[in-house]
Amino acid sequence: MGIGIAQVAATAGHEVKVCDNSLEALEKAATKLRNVLNRLVEKGKMDREKADGILGRVRFCSTPEDLGESDMVIEAIVEDLDAKRNLFSHLEVIVDEETVLATNTSSLSIAKIASACTFSHRVLGVHFFNPAPLMPLVEIIPAVQTSGEVLVEVRNLIDAWGKTTVTAKDTPGFIVNRVARPFYGEALRMLEEGIADVATIDWAVKDVGGFRMGPFELMDYIGNDVNYTVTETVFREFFYDPRYRPSFTQKRMVDANWLGRKTGKGFYDYGENAVQPEPNRDRELGEKIIRRILVMLINEAADALFLNISTRDGIDLAMTKGVNYPHGMLAWADKLGLETVLKELDELQAWYGEDRYRASVLIRKMAAEGQKFYPEKVLESQ
């Protein structure tokens, strides 16, 4: 992630320093950047002069002290609150008082990270999505301490880098990692219940639902350790709300070091001679699977809007640009009809007797009043 963000900034013309206390990690990062740019040149997507210019603007260093003259520092270290707070506290005595300190955290409290700094007004979240050079979305998350001037300055800067920015409230998971929890969680729940196997659930989500990747494919791509940690963090930070409860199945994958593509085995086997399982292409079953995941995603998006995590357009933009969903969840809710969404959520809650399936107050209100999220337009059929 760090070298990806560096590539984005250097492509926009900035002088960039990439810092890591591991010389091996720095060497790998430098090699990766050269390889990426060389491939772009080979494919005719970038000329040699531009690629060399980007490489020339990126320097590598092994201590935070080398960052002293930076105008902005974007932290992309391990997703651990204490580690991030310690780093920010250390950075503050190195950089200028006006240097912006940004964290790329995907789920941790920006306010808690900022509180490690005396000049906390210049701290905020700048959450890129992997791979940073390709994914257009960046979530901008001000802490309660962040000054309005810093928020505007940073959002304008990232916009100038050609990214699509949305501002999100400093709550666990922000927009994307909050709204997307049911994409993984409900798929895991159906697997555990024996409703369908991994291949069938992925098939239903892609072929019936129109998503680019199935939940198990995506968890293997992200890394089960990373995905589980985000889920665990959101669950804890939401005071153990059952909507975000992690899965024992995924925890056991992490325990076994079956992390996905990076370890060669996850929900799928990535070995050289591995034979992938065939899905059950029962259309009725596929509809059942995707509808259950979909109403849970819609419920989460509606609740995010109800709690002012972001705007209607910001939430839908985040999900289409950040995780490539075929439609924004609020627009999709209009397509299905809020009365239908509410009915299916209420049926799930009645059947399971769990608060996990409780419908958002906003969905109840809008369904009762016959409202739509987008009264000005109609979502086209897939």
Q: Which residues does the annotation mark as catalytic?
A: 106, 127, 139, 177
Instruction: Yes or no: say if 171 and 309 are a contact pair by the CB < 8 Å rule.
Output: yes
The neighbour count for residue 164, using CB atoms within 10 Å, is 15
Instruction: Yes or no: say if 76 and 91 are a contact pair by the CB < 8 Å rule.
Output: no
Name the DSSP class of 260: B
Beta strands at 16-19 and 100-103: parallel, antiparallel or unpaired = unpaired
Instruction: Yes or no: say if 148 and 118 are a contact pair by the CB < 8 Å rule.
Output: no
| Alpha helices, DSSP H, located in the chain | 2-11, 23-42, 48-56, 81-92, 110-114, 148-160, 176-179, 181-193, 198-203, 215-222, 224-237, 248-255, 283-306, 312-322, 329-336, 338-352, 361-369
The neighbour count for residue 144, using CB atoms within 10 Å, is 11
- Pick the closest to residue 145 from 121, 118, 126, 119 (CA basis): 121
Q: CB-hemisphere CA count at 13 Å for 262?
A: 11
Residues 6+ apart with CB under 8 A from 187: 201, 205, 214, 215, 216, 293
Number of residues that this document lists for the chain: 382
Residue type, 255: D
Q: Which two tokens stand for residue 160?
A: 């100038």
Residue with tokens 């076994």: 256
- Pick the closest to residue 339 from 374, 361, 306, 363 (CA basis): 363
